[in-house]
Amino acid sequence: MPLITLTTDYGLQDAYVSALKAQLYNQLEAPEIVDISHLIEPFHIIQAAYVLGSVYRSFPQGSIHFIGINFNQTPEQDLIVAELNDHFFVCADNGFLSLFEPELKPTKAIALKDSDKTNQTRGVEAIAHIHRGGALNVIGTPVTILKQLTQHMPSVQPQGNEIQGHVLHIDRFGNIVTNITKQLFQKVGRNRAFIIHARNHDFKEIFNDYHEAIRYDKPKAQREESGKKLALFNSQGHLELAVFKGSPKYGGGASTLFGLSYLDPIRVAFINDT
């Protein structure tokens, strides 16, 4: 049977997550439920898109993903189910999918039919319907145009010498994840030298992982380890700025040390050969 994943901003202090799971258990017999995260910042669909996007491909095809971020129907926003990359997504039509997989378009998408039931109950019933193998057109009407949030995509200067992006996410280690992907970096950069500008800090080298930045050929006493700043492409393919073994709790995370927070600009300037 399909796996069900949950990504919400419900938090862990209250009973919201338990109530959601209780509804799922009442609808289905022993469903397999995986918590992606319930600590998304309130209404922060951009953070949710990054967090779920970093892991959903690891789940089996046919998995059902519930995104409980601003999951409300309004005169300007439908509740939708979309089949994308052989996975199902139950979310609000609030631009989430355009941030989540900007290069892909849903194979199918439907707006859930109006109902006097609560929004969450409608979402749970949609999940249960898909879990049982039900067709999407039974529970909704086809949608061909979904909301787009293209303003959160990085841009390239007309001359092709600069990428302008911004901070997308700060992880629990204080590392700075940007919206600049390795794919875009390589496409624009064409193996040219570069400088990454992040407020008052510049980076001229990108590592493959954190440990690559440490000179293990030197005696330990001579290495620059904890506190070393570095740029790398993380496992999700995003440009990340980090501090090796930084600790945000003690002021040593990259976001604190570099003075950067969500949506702050990150610029990559490529240097033409002379």
Q: Provide the residue ranges of all domains of the chain, joining segments of one domain with +.
A: 4-150, 154-271
d(CA 156, CA 163): 5
Number of alpha carbons in the 13 Å side-chain half-sphere of residue 73: 18
Fold for the domain defined by 154-271: Elongation Factor Tu (Ef-tu); domain 3 (2.40.30)
CA geometry: angle 177, 232, 197, nearest 5 deg: 70
Fold for the domain defined by 4-150: Rossmann fold (3.40.50)
4-150 and 154-271: identical CATH topology = no
DSSP assignments along 113-157, one per residue: PP-SS-HHHHHHHHHHHHHTT--GGGTEEE-------GGGS-EE-
Flag whether pLDDT at 160 surpasses 80.
yes
Lowest mean pLDDT among 83-92, 115-124, 212-221, 244-253: 212-221
The mean predicted confidence, pLDDT, of the chain is 90
Find the mean pLDDT for residues 156-169: 94
**Residues whose CB falls within 8 Å of the CB of residue 98, separated by 6 or more in sequence, listed in order:** 146, 147, 148, 149, 150
d(CA 2, CA 89): 12
Flag whether pLDDT at 178 surpasses 80.
yes
Flag whether pLDDT at 273 surpasses 80.
no
pLDDT reported for residue 111: 97
pLDDT reported for residue 248: 61
Number of alpha carbons in the 13 Å side-chain half-sphere of residue 254: 26
- Residue 54's pLDDT band, with cuts at 50, 70 and 90, is very high
Picking from 181, 175, 177, the residue whose alpha carbon sits closest to that of residue 167 is: 177
